[in-house]
Structure 1
Amino acid sequence: MVSKNRTVTIKDVAEEAGVSKSTVSQYLNNRYEYMGLETRERIAEAVDELGYQPNIVARSLKQKTSTTIGVIVANISHEFSTQIVRSIEEYCNESNFHIIVCNAEDDPEKEKKYIEMLRAKQVDGIIVFPTSMNISLYQSLNLEDYPMVFIDRYVPDVKTSSIMLDNKKASHLAVREFVERGYKKIGIVTNSTENNVTPRIERIEGFIEAARVNGLIVKNDFIKGVEIEAIQAELEKMLFRPDPPEALLAGNDLTLFEILKFVKEHKMEIPKDLAVIGIDDVSFASIYDPELTTIGQPTSEMGKKAAELLLKRIKGDEVAFQDIYRFEPFIKRRSSC
């Protein structure tokens, strides 16, 4: 019987199960190739009976891996971010890896501190929603051959794979939906484009392309990329002008929240007074009144791909380099346009 006052060791488990320490070690590392079912069951019972907890720090030092990765999101407020993180966590859990999630809040300095902190903790690699402003730091990680994958954004000067939506196609889907429903005066509102955040830039570019393809007049006053705090004022200017847009594309979920808030405060009706489509399939889209038409992203597949690429790099598996992996958007038609 092991005393409750001391830590249970692999030796204790081995003695309880009647096997060698090396057999217990193989079991704990999921190496079952030459281990009978009865032996595995005895070890499992011993682990459970003794309450054995592996020493993760000691194991990481011995194996030269922490079996941990860092995930730095640009802004955890986005539903897209939380959905991606969930997918990454599921894939890593199945691969016996842990994740540490950090929220940079679109702040390059905060992102830099998190990268340095994660390196100090010796995580095996990182998945980053990059702010795009720490190029020299990203490049230094590349020079060290440190495993890193970008998601949602692309940084041209950094040779690292990026997992991204086909953002231009997302805007095309929305504009086509507006046009098919008879709207001609269409606008787009998104977060600030000042720091060249890829999805915001690409969605505006896609909007302009789609408007021209569909024979619409592109009005600069109907295209806004501003800080979240300024969206209400921009909407007031845009929607209370003599010739306002009939329909708006929200560039992401946070922008959609601002549009819905504006509509409520000014007692407007969707789609009677303003048709709306949002990029990002928000969780409340199907219960809002009216139900919101959205352009969705395959977040499960995107998160899984990011985790898969990173873990392959960590394990030294050969992966042919590809700078951007594009994923297809899809439309969920509801009642807001």
Structure 2
Amino acid sequence: MNTKKITIADVAEEAKVSKSTVSQYLNQRFEYMGEQTKERIAQAIKDLGYRPNIVARSLKQKTTTTIGVIVANISHEFSTQIVQSIEKYCNESNYHIIVCNAEDHPEKEQKYIEMLRAKQVDGIIVFPTSNNKELYQSLNLEDYPMVFIDRYVPEVKVSSIMLDNKKASQLAVEEFHRLGYERIGIITNSTKNNVTPRVERIEGFVQALESKNLEVNESYIKSVSLHEISKELVQMFSLEQPPEALLAGNDLALIEILQFTKKHQLQIPSDLAVIGIDDVSFASIYNPELTTIAQPTDEMGKKAAELLISQIQGEKPPFQQIYRFSPTLLSRSSCTGIKGGIL
């Protein structure tokens, strides 16, 4: 068996070009390279089974062509969709990604940032908690490439990719109102750590109710930890006048609502109309099909990757620019205007 390691010199000899030309090809510097030359090199690499030494190249170029992605909670379908989009763009740009799940714990987030720095990743995309401001500030002072997604930290000058969260709530309230619902509520995960989308969605919800001259009933507005949502729903539906319609602030809150309605034998939409922010994969196969507010995750993930790679390649990042993306209402059967009593 031939165990000889194939080198750039072997590829150059096979393709009848210089080693520097092969190096330029591997680094995608094609400006002065003819198509026939590229084809010969590509064929030589294929025939010889050449595999570049990524570690050696990283040391020479002072880059690992690797970025870190720290998600707040991998259980969110939104997070996995964003990661898929980031990975696709990075792969097309010859970058690799390392995905870390911080579970909304600032301490875990800090450990992952330190680990990724130790692995010399070229930059980080992060769904930030609000408790690591000093760490983010120190990375900023180093001009370390970094992009926030889904959230922003006002004190830290890092650009963020975000949904127009107030608009998302507004679309839901407008749909409920259009279909005749008046007692409208919202439930979402805790805003304890000032998680941007949760705060903004509740603010947008209240503003939308007021704009439609609908009652803002604090008993219908809940922001609690995930394991407390079921208990809050029990209290909400024990009221003399429970809500007729509920907006789920995200996909995990939506699942809690669906489990609650099943357990208590409430029919959607006759007993309760439901709209969820995040277009979950099962929305169109659930019975009834679920009306959702979709986030453009493909565009959001791509934009985050574009911004980070441009920073890695030397472009100075803008001053804490917030890129807002528009939500889309996907009207289905869980909100039809057919109201019935549940008492």
Instruction: Output the TM-score relative to the length of structure 2.
Output: 0.95
- Cα deviation for residue 202 of structure 1 reads 0.5
For residue 75 of structure 2, the aligned residue among 63, 77, 81 is 77
Matches within 5 A, 1:30-49: 30-49=28-47
Matches within 5 A, 1:303-314: 303-314=301-312
Q: How far, CA to CA, are the matches of 1:123 and 1:319 in structure 2?
A: 18
Q: How far, CA to CA, are the matches of 1:289 and 1:200 in structure 2?
A: 27
Tell which deviates more after alignment, 102-111 or 40-49: 40-49
- Cα deviation for residue 132 of structure 1 reads 1.5
Q: How far, CA to CA, are the matches of 2:121 and 2:23 in structure 1?
A: 23
Contact 2:147 2:307 in 1 (8 A): yes
> Aligned residue for 2:27?
29
Q: How far, CA to CA, are the matches of 1:57 and 1:116 in structure 2?
A: 20
Tell which deviates more after alignment, 102-111 or 311-320: 311-320
- Cα deviation for residue 4 of structure 1 reads 2.9
Q: Report sequence identity in percent.
A: 73
> Aligned residue for 2:319?
321
- Cα deviation for residue 34 of structure 1 reads 2.0
Tell which deviates more after alignment, 187-196 or 87-96: 87-96
> Aligned residue for 1:4?
2
- Cα deviation for residue 322 of structure 1 reads 4.4
Q: How far, CA to CA, are the matches of 2:319 and 2:155 in structure 1?
A: 15
- How many residues end up aligned between the 2 structures? 335
Q: 1:234-259: per-residue Cα shift (whole Å, max 9, x none)?
A: 11110122210000000000000000
- Cα deviation for residue 7 of structure 1 reads 2.2
> Aligned residue for 2:150?
152
Question: Which one-letter code corresponds to 1:78 in the other structure?
Answer: H
Q: How far, CA to CA, are the matches of 1:169 and 1:187 in structure 2?
A: 16
Q: Does 1:272 align with 2:270?
A: yes
For residue 179 of structure 1, the aligned residue among 177, 180, 192 is 177
Q: How far, CA to CA, are the matches of 1:140 and 1:70 in structure 2?
A: 17
Q: How far, CA to CA, are the matches of 2:165 and 2:150 in structure 1?
A: 10
Matches within 5 A, 1:40-119: 40-119=38-117
Contact 2:190 2:224 in 1 (8 A): yes
Contact 2:123 2:145 in 1 (8 A): yes
1:32 aligns to what SS in structure 2? coil
> Aligned residue for 1:249?
247
- Cα deviation for residue 91 of structure 1 reads 1.2
2:247 aligns to what SS in structure 1? strand
Instruction: Output the TM-score relative to the length of structure 1.
Output: 0.97
> Aligned residue for 1:260?
258
- Cα deviation for residue 318 of structure 1 reads 4.3
Question: Which one-letter code corresponds to 1:131 in the other structure?
Answer: T
Tell which deviates more after alignment, 290-299 or 40-49: 40-49
Q: Does 1:138 align with 2:136?
A: yes
> Aligned residue for 2:339?
none
2:279 aligns to what SS in structure 1? coil
1:212 aligns to what SS in structure 2? helix
Q: How far, CA to CA, are the matches of 1:138 and 1:28 in structure 2?
A: 34
Contact 2:157 2:320 in 1 (8 A): no
> Aligned residue for 1:161?
159
Q: How far, CA to CA, are the matches of 1:34 and 1:226 in structure 2?
A: 60
1:189 aligns to what SS in structure 2? strand
Q: 1:290-332: per-residue Cα shift (whole Å, max 9, x none)?
A: 1111011111111111111111111112454342111111100
Q: 1:6-27: per-residue Cα shift (whole Å, max 9, x none)?
A: 3211111112222211111111
Contact 2:68 2:121 in 1 (8 A): yes
Q: How far, CA to CA, are the matches of 1:129 and 1:261 in structure 2?
A: 27
> Aligned residue for 2:122?
124
Question: Which one-letter code corresponds to 1:9 in the other structure?
Answer: T
Q: How far, CA to CA, are the matches of 1:191 and 1:270 in structure 2?
A: 22
Contact 2:157 2:319 in 1 (8 A): no
Q: How far, CA to CA, are the matches of 1:157 and 1:32 in structure 2?
A: 42
Question: Which one-letter code corresponds to 1:90 in the other structure?
Answer: K
1:271 aligns to what SS in structure 2? coil
Q: 1:116-172: per-residue Cα shift (whole Å, max 9, x none)?
A: 010011111100000121111011100111010000001011000011111011001
Q: How far, CA to CA, are the matches of 1:230 and 1:36 in structure 2?
A: 64
Unaligned 5+ runs, structure 1: none
Q: How far, CA to CA, are the matches of 1:96 and 1:237 in structure 2?
A: 52
Q: 1:12-60: per-residue Cα shift (whole Å, max 9, x none)?
A: 1112222211111111111222222222222111111111111111111
